[in-house]
Amino acid sequence: MKKSNVALIATVLIAIHVLILLALMSTSSRRKESARPAPATVATQPAPAPLELEPIVDFQVPELNLTPPAQQIMAVEVVEMAPAQPRETIAVPGSRAGHLRADRPDRRTSKIYPNLVGDPYQSSIVVDARTGKILFEDRAAVYAYPASITKLMTMLIVLEQIDAGVISLKDKVKITAEVSKVGGSQAYLDPRETDFTVDDMLYALMVHSANDAARALALHVAGSKDAFVDMMNQKARELGMNSTIYHTDHGLPPSKEQPDISTAYDIAILSLASLRQPETLRYTSTELTYIRGGGFMLATRNALAKRVDGYMGCDGLKTGYHSRGGFSLTATAERNGKRVISVVLGCPDKTTRTAISRKLLDKGFERLEKE
């Protein structure tokens, strides 16, 4: 046998013996460890269970598949509306010479005149409503009793209270015993009637010249006649009506006191202020209307505002009469974009009042045409 083979065999045998020896030593070591006592266990708090969080799911907006509804075509009746009337330009008195002025000195008087009736009138004036220019005047600052022309101020106060939101045209107006006892021209208002509105009373006031309607409105606005008259006098001062004093809400003269007193000049100022209220002409231009569901007719006292034998373009304003003040009228008419105001106070009769007013309006338009 070769020497190389003998050496290889010897090496293999030595390796086998080494492996057997290592295996025996490992077995003996495991036996000793198993024979040792187990170490004492220490009581400890169990570890808290981990908090399980729900997974955050990403929010996705679902896609909406909206189908537009089918178009429905509805039949609509088209009603042709009358075009709105433009608001007129009406002058405001200032301090310009030759025009109505609001800066004149106070001329109010407490004197009681037995009557203020002239021939053919007590005083008159004609004014261009657009500019306030005085086109004609004759004793315009002479005192006169305007009688029911006072109602023009009553209406103005009511319309301003409506503008201020204090009252409404649709308000129901209470008819009290005091209202029903007012004499003179009236609508015979009765406390048992509960359906009258402010609008109804304004028509009765301006078309029919109803004294009881004036008192009903005064109580509705101010709570008492005296409080309302205070408002009227305050407004007169604000407007520059330097000769005017009101004692009533309707113009009917008190038995032993001074009647309402004014001048043609002051009434022209009041007429301008009334025309600056858009609703004024709706009432003053009405020739005929009804209240009580058609049961009571209201007819204008202004002959110039009537369709038959009236004055072309006349749409206001107010008549007045009592025995101590005679027949009076503040009138206005509009022609070709021009508006004229005429005031005549203290005529001896109704016919003279109407005839003079026509002439004054004619004079006003003639002078405007020449300018």
- Residue numbers in the known binding site for substrate are 318
Residue 148 among the catalytic residues: yes
β-pairing, 314-322 with 123-128? unpaired
Q: For residue 96, what is the DSSP state?
A: -
Q: For residue 295, what is the DSSP state?
A: T
Residue 34 among the catalytic residues: no
Of the residues 123, 124, 185, 209, only one is catalytic, namely 209
Of the residues 151, 235, 243, 342, only one is catalytic, namely 151
Cα separation, 15 vs 7, whole angstroms: 13
CA torsion angle 190 192 198 204 (round to 10): -30
Q: What is the 3-state secondary structure (H, E, C) of 163-213?
A: HCCCCCCCCECCCCHHHHCCCCCCCCCCCCCCCCEHHHHHHHHHCCCCHHH
* Strand, coil or helix: 231: helix
Q: Measuring CA to CA, how many Å separate 338 from each of 15, 126, 332?
A: 141, 13, 11
Cα separation, 370 vs 363, whole angstroms: 11
Question: Which residues are part of a known binding site?
Answer: 318
Residue 174 among the catalytic residues: no
Q: Are 344 and 124 in contact (CB under 8 A)?
A: yes
Cα separation, 222 vs 235, whole angstroms: 14
Q: Which of 248, 275, 281 is nearest to 262 (CA)?
A: 248
Cα separation, 51 vs 36, whole angstroms: 40
Tokens standing for residue 277: 């209220």
Cα separation, 268 vs 342, whole angstroms: 8
Of the residues 123, 124, 148, 262, only one is catalytic, namely 148
Cα separation, 319 vs 302, whole angstroms: 6
Catalytic positions, written as ranges: 148, 151, 209
